[in-house]
């Protein structure tokens, strides 16, 4: 789990239950994407919420979730 501490003290991360984030202070949790099946049962990760692309389709939901996390970590997490 990557934690990015900004100069103003705000901590950003892609949510994970590896640590209890409440220990860092007041939380604001926002959805970064939606991972949903398409009409053929394949999975799409839609990152429009963070001005990102649609990823997929993937055969397995776990593949869509992994792609979602990778994109968020590479493109959103360290963005100011």
Domain count, the chain: 1
Q: How far is residue 80's CA from residue 74's CA, in Å, rounded to a whole number?
A: 13
The domain of 33 spans 4-76
List Cβ neighbours of 35 (8 Å cut-off, separation of 6 or more): 43, 44, 45, 46, 61, 64, 65, 68
The pLDDT of residue 75 is 93
Q: How far is residue 74's CA from residue 79's CA, in Å, rounded to a whole number?
A: 9
The overall average pLDDT reported for the chain is: 92
Structure tokens at 56: 């997929």
Taking the model in full, what pTM does it have?
A: 0.83
pLDDT tens, position by position, 63-75: 999 999 999 999 9
Tell whether the model's pLDDT for residue 80 goes beyond 80: no
């Amino acid at each position: 789990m990557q934690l990015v501490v900004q100069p103003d003290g705000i901590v950003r991360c892609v949510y994970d239950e590896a640590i209890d984030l409440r220990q860092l202070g007041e939380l604001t949790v926002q959805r970064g994407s939606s991972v949903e099946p398409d009409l053929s049962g394949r999975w799409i990760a839609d990152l429009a919420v963070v001005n990102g692309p649609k990823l997929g389709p993937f055969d397995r939901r776990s593949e869509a979730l992994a792609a979602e996390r990778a994109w968020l970590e590479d493109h959103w997490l360290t963005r100011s």
